[in-house]
Amino acid sequence: MSTSRVVATVFAAMTFLAAAPVHAFDPAILESVVSVLPDWPEDSGPARADPQRLEVPEGTGVAILAGGYIATNAHVLGRAAEVRVRLADGQHLPAAIVGRDTATDIALLRIEWDLPVPAFGPAPPLGDRVCVVGNAFGLGLSVTCGVVSARHRAGTGFNPIEDFIQTDASVNPGASGGALVDSENRLVGVVSAIFTKGSDADIGINFAASMALVMRIAEDLRDHGRVIRGRAGFGFADLTDEQRDAGLVGVRVVRVRPDGAAARAGLAEGDLIVSIAGRPIRQRMEVPAALHLQRPDVPIEITVIRDGETRNLTLSMDP
What is the three-state SS of 142-168?
Answer: EEEEEEEEEEEECCCCCCCCCCEEEEC
Q: Using the predicted structure, report yes or no on whether residue 49 has a pLDDT greater than 50.
A: no
Burial class (CB in 10 A: 0-12, 13-18, 19+), 135: buried
- In this prediction, residue 194 carries a pLDDT of 86
Q: Is residue 18 over pLDDT 70?
A: no
Q: CATH homologous superfamily for 31-110?
A: Trypsin-like serine proteases (2.40.10.10)
Give CATH for domain 234-315.
2.30.42.10
Output the pLDDT for position 20.
Answer: 40
Residue 126, number of CB atoms within 10 A of its CB: 11
For residue 37, the model assigns a pLDDT of 96
Residue 205 has pLDDT above 60, yes or no: yes
Note the pLDDT of residue 14. Answer: 40
Query: Cα(90)–Cα(97) distance, rounded to whole angstroms?
Result: 21
pLDDT band (50, 70, 90) for residue 43: low
Assess whether pLDDT exceeds 80 at residue 161. yes
**How distant, in Å, are the alpha carbons of 33, 94, 95, 114 from that of 36?**
10, 10, 9, 16
Separation of alpha carbons 148 and 188, rounded Å: 11
Judged against a pLDDT cut of 80, whether residue 10 lies above it is answered with no
Instruction: Give the mean pLDDT of 149-164.
Output: 94
Same fold, 31-110 and 129-224: yes
Specify the CATH number of the domain 129-224.
2.40.10.10
**pLDDT over threshold 80, residue 197:** no
In this predicted structure, what is the pLDDT of residue 204? 82
Residue 51 has pLDDT above 50, yes or no: no
Gap between the Cα atoms of 148 and 138, Å rounded: 25
Residue 98, exposed/middle/buried by CB under 10 A (0-12, 13-18, 19+)?
A: middle
Mean pLDDT value across residues 1-16: 43
Average pLDDT over residues 32-50: 72
Output the pLDDT for position 11. 40
Query: In the chain, where are the structural domains located?
Result: 31-110, 129-224, 234-315
Dihedral of the alpha carbons of 209, 221, 219, 146, in degrees to the nearest 10? -20
What's the pLDDT at 297? Answer: 83
Residues carrying an active site annotation: 75, 105, 176
> What is the C-alpha to C-alpha distance for residues 86 and 93, in angstroms, rounded to an integer?
7
Characterize 271-302 residue by residue with b for buried, 16 or more Cβ atoms within 10 angstroms of its Cβ, and e for exposed. Answer: bbbbbbeeeebbebbbbbbbbbbbbeeeebeb
Angle at 186 between CA 61 and CA 220, to 5 degrees: 50
Do the Cβ atoms of 164 and 195 come closer than 8 Å?
A: no
Q: What is the pLDDT of residues 209-261, one digit of tens each?
A: 999 999 999 999 999 999 999 999 999 999 999 999 999 999 999 999 999 99
- Average pLDDT score over residue span 43-69: 69
- What pLDDT score does 203 carry? 73
Residue 185: closest CA among 22, 18, 20, 16:
22
By mean pLDDT, which of 26-40, 151-165, 169-183, 200-214 is the weakest? 200-214
Mean pLDDT of 84-95: 96
